[in-house]
Every structure is written in C-alpha cells, then in structure tokens.
Amino acid sequence: MIRKIESLDGVTGVIIGRSYGGKSLGKNGKTGSVRVQREVPGGLKAVTQTSKGLQELFIRTEEGRAEDAWRRIEGMG
C-alpha cells in the first residue's frame, strides 16, 4: 500500500514513523489499511495497520495537494 500511495500524483514520499504493537484500526482495519488522520504542514499524518499493530506514516505532498491526496488514499480502501 505504501508504494501505491507514493505513486499518487502530488505525493513526494512516505516517511515511516513509530510503531505501536497490539493497537488496531478497529473492525475494518485489515493489514495494509491506511487511515489519514489530519493535514499538517507539508503533508498528511496517517496510520497503517500491520500484522503486529499500528505504524505511523507521514505522507509528504506537494504544496496545495494534500486534500486531493487524502481523497485518493481514502478511495484505495
């Protein structure tokens, strides 16, 4: 899923952050699921479900492209 996000128009990269073992996105949180949490300067904060828990992601976007990237990521579900 990270490679798909990186290939989106307007996305310049994905930075992997902290991992939280034992945490879950909930009932619909299958391994590989990504949930965008909020827009921040430079991109989007998100989390992805792994087999061991949650992994933080920072999705770096071109200026003015974060909202469009957010919609496309939600559409990947």
Q: In whole angstroms, give the CA distance from residue 62 to residue 58.
A: 13
pLDDT score of 24: 74
pLDDT score of 37: 96
Range of the domain at 43: 2-76
Record the tokens describing residue 25, joined without a space.
Answer: 């996105």
- Count: domains in the chain: 1
Say yes or no to pLDDT of 5 above 80: yes
pLDDT, one tens digit per residue, over 14-73 is 999 999 887 777 666 678 889 999 999 999 999 998 888 899 999 999 999 999 999 999
> Which of 62, 66, 6 shows the shortest CA–CA distance to 48?
6
Report helix, strand or coil for 33. Answer: coil
pLDDT score of 35: 92
